[in-house]
Amino acid sequence: MEVVSVSRGEGVDITTGEGLAEALRGAEVVVDVTDAPARTEKASMDFFGTATATLAKAAAVAGVEHHVVLSVVGAEQLKSGYFRAKLLQEDQVRRSPVPFSSIVRATPFFESVETTALMNTYTDGVHVAPVLLRPVSANDVAAAVAHVAVGVPPAGILQVAGPEEHRLDDLAAKLLAARGDMRDVVADVHAPFFGAEIGERALLPAPDAHSGHETFAQWLARR
């Protein structure tokens, strides 16, 4: 199967539809791994509300058989801000006129830990929610998405997680230490995660989630 990337850099805009018809000509599967330009609720809702609908319509016209979208573990529990927008995206894919659809939900990428570690900085240090999670390598998620794209569409939602369970504040401390950053990490149950205040287990996947291979220590060493 030939893979063709589609982006604004290639002259394709999925919010306006510019270049989509040409890009999708002859395509059998569409894999949507786009993200909103900002993680605020308004920016996310505006982007996914427009882009996903435009892409689904163009895919159906082009005769695409399978629409795969990458989403996030915990979206159905948090239902606020960015996560509400991801639920909107999922719903649009389910209602798409494309014959088959698949949703792959991933736990937070290792890169998200880095973003979180710099997000809530105060005079006493970096505030991070002490929530449990199984962060995952972007490479492991890409492999799972590719497997879904070329295989039989799974029934329901496929979840992808890393092989180890951690606390987010512990990971943030390890990341800052590895970078030589001497700021303290403060465990704060009210610290938001991408705009949402979350419970301790809200980011954990289901027991039957597909497990990736790369650990946080391996990813950190590779960085």
Say how far apart CA 93 and CA 64 lie, in whole Å.
Answer: 13
Give the predicted TM-score (pTM) of the model. Answer: 0.91
Based on the fold, state whether residues 220 and 120 are members of the same structural domain: yes
> What is the DSSP secondary structure assignment for residue 221, as one 8-state letter?
H
Based on the fold, state whether residues 82 and 50 are members of the same structural domain: yes
Based on the fold, state whether residues 127 and 56 are members of the same structural domain: no
Kindly report, residue by residue over 14-68, the tens digit of the pLDDT: 999 999 999 999 999 999 999 988 878 889 999 999 999 999 999 999 999 999 9
Residue 3, SS3 per DSSP:
coil
Based on the fold, state whether residues 97 and 204 are members of the same structural domain: no
In a domain, residue 33? The reply is: yes
Say how far apart CA 209 and CA 207 lie, in whole Å.
Answer: 6
Based on the fold, state whether residues 97 and 180 are members of the same structural domain: no
In a domain, residue 49? The reply is: yes
Query: Which stretches does DSSP call E strand in 99-199?
Result: 100-106, 121-122, 125-128, 132-133, 157-161, 166-167, 185-187
In a domain, residue 149? The reply is: no
Based on the fold, state whether residues 122 and 186 are members of the same structural domain: yes
Based on the fold, state whether residues 119 and 223 are members of the same structural domain: yes
Kindly report, residue by residue over 180-213, the tens digit of the pLDDT: 989 999 999 999 887 778 899 999 999 999 999 9
Domains in the chain: how many in total? 2
In a domain, residue 153? The reply is: no
The boundaries of the domain holding residue 121 are 110-136+163-223
Based on the fold, state whether residues 184 and 130 are members of the same structural domain: yes
CATH of the domain at 42: 3.40.50.720
